[in-house]
Structure 1
Amino acid sequence: MNRLKNLMILPFFLMACGPQENAYDASGTFEAVETLISAEANGVIKALDIREGQELHAGQAIGYIDSTQLYLRKLQLQSQIKAVLSKRPNVAIQLAALQEQLSQAIREQRRLANLVRADAATPKQLDDANAQVAVIKKQIAAQQSSLGITSSSLTQEASPLEVQIAQLEDELAKSRIVNPLDGIVLVKYAEANETVTVGKPLYKIADLSSIILLAYITGPQFSQLKLNQTVTVLVDDAESGYREYPGVVEWISGKAEFTPKTIQTKDERENLVYATKIRVKNDGLLKIGMYCEVRFD
């Protein structure tokens, strides 16, 4: 009789000693901040050296779009600028003759001044020399002004061409495909020899060095959780157990929503839940879309 009684009690004992179900407070899936990289120029892709799953670094050159026509337009504009600026007058050469006349007039002025002091020349002769010096100085000033206006006008004429060159240089720079951030290529949308336009997606990248767990908590849990709180993230391993990762709560929604169909909470009777984002350092085993549980420490 006692033996039969012990056999009846044994299953309940084993159930009590077995693993507890729902040994977690919330559950969710991993996601990452995904960035869509698009073309910044029009043309044929000459090279796009990436593959899905490849790790890229910020500033890494990964390809380029055909920019032959842009370069030829730049050369054309540079030639036009040279042609315009070649018309600028050489002020020093064009004033050289007047400068020489002024030097001679000043020497004559000084000579007559000495003669007048020695009563060897009349004051009128000196006045005429002074007038000649003044006239030549005015001629030089007028010529300088005229040449300066001409030179300035030609420089201004070349300025719009220089702006166009700057625009082309910007377009040439955008023809080079340079990866903007560290991360893993998730999806590749374009291949070499395809024609693209500005805004066409080339690939999608995400930084998976840390990954975000999107979990949902119930109303009673909402008051127990706070920003920057440390939690434990539980991920299934190959041996029907859990791998544990430390996580940090970085965002809690202030607005309740109905429980998503794909998400289970600890208390399934709760209809309204709050979205929560938990950042977890990735050891390379965590993947986007992976399901996991969270235990509040």
Structure 2
Amino acid sequence: MNQSMNNTMKNIAGILTTALLVAACNGDKNLYDASGTFEAVETIVSAEATGTIRTLLLEEGQLLHAGQSVGSIDSVQLYLKKKQLQAQILAVLSKRPDIGSQVASLREQLKQAEREQQRITRLLKADAATQKQLDDANAQIAIIQKQIEGIQSSLSITSSSLNEETSPLQVQIEQLNDQLHKCRIINPIEGTVLTKYTEANEMATTGKPLYKIADIATITLRAYVTGDQFASIKLNQKVHVLVDTDKDNYKTYEGTIEWISDKAEFTPKTIQTKDERANLVYAVKIRVKNDGFLKIGMYGEVKL
């Protein structure tokens, strides 16, 4: 009788253990509603000039700030070309006439003529000079003034012409300044260096990739939901994102749905959804704040 009871108790224990295992398995299946992989906006920074890379101060995994100078490309020839153009401009401008010195003598003549006019005016009032003498003095002043105006106009035209002659050279200098600026390698965005494609002392050409960077402080999980789930989600909805830390444990993050596709697509082969029989799913992007543990390409699960 005791042996029978023992066997019965063992059978019951076995059934309970099996039930618990099944329940645990079912619990695991219901642990998440969608899954996918983490991604980020990746930017490939390329060279904007051709020449030898003099410095490239970055390494993979390094955090860079927007606007940070990380290297330079040889710019000696561009700098020498700029100096040559600046010398040409100085040579052209040296031909400009000195208007002040060239009309100085005429201005002295004008002062003398004006003093003579004043003297004759006083004499005329005292009946010691004639009206003709005053008219001649006035005419002499007018002649000298016309001469000054004529020379000033002529010399101004010459100066303007020489200034205009330097305009194309100034434009070329501005172009060289732009090219010199592009010889500096400036990091465009805040982010972490993912891949370094080249090293210092290698040759760079315009458009050659130098390194790849992405801002992974906030990372995006691209997951897929079924048609039934699609109707119950909305933009800016808070969800839980689960990431495995080892075989039996996981970390939970709070995420925000920032994009929902309006077109259905066939389930990707690498993605499993809660309803494995679903043929069509909708892609969603979930923004997650990264604590440094999350990485591009890592697998994640979503609990809606």
Q: Distance in 1 between matches of 2:10 and 2:279?
A: 46
Q: Structure 1 residue 9: deviation in Å? A: 2.4
2:20 is matched with: 14
What is the TM-score when the length of structure 2 is the normalising length? Answer: 0.94
1:40 aligns with 2:36: no
2:266 is matched with: 258
1:104 is matched with: 112
- Aligned ranges 1:1-297 → 2 under 5 Å: 1=4, 2-19=8-25, 20-22=27-29, 23-238=31-246, 240-296=248-304
**Number of matched pairs:** 296
Secondary structure of the equivalent of 2:28?
Answer: coil
Q: Structure 1 residue 15: deviation in Å? A: 2.2
**CA distance 1:219–1:65, shift in 2 (3 Å):** same
Identity rate of aligned residues, in percent? Answer: 64
Q: Distance in 1 between matches of 2:22 and 2:205?
A: 65
Q: List per-residue Cα deviations over 1:234-277 (Å, max 9, x = no partner).
A: 00012511100000000001111111111111111111111100
**CA distance 1:8–1:208, shift in 2 (3 Å):** closer
Q: Structure 1 residue 8: deviation in Å? A: 4.5
Q: Structure 1 residue 18: deviation in Å? A: 2.4
Q: Which amino acid aligns with 1:185?
A: V
Q: Which amino acid aligns with 1:154?
A: L
CA RMSD of aligned residues (A): 1.2
5+ residue gaps, structure 1 = none
5+ residue gaps, structure 2 = none
Deviates more, 1:42-51 or 1:11-20: 11-20
What is the TM-score when the length of structure 1 is the normalising length? Answer: 0.97
Q: Distance in 2 between matches of 1:66 and 1:5?
A: 82
Secondary structure of the equivalent of 2:272?
Answer: coil
Q: List per-residue Cα deviations over 1:56-93 (Å, max 9, x = no partner).
A: 11121111000000000000001001011111111111
**CA distance 1:147–1:272, shift in 2 (3 Å):** same
Q: Distance in 2 between matches of 1:220 and 1:7?
A: 39
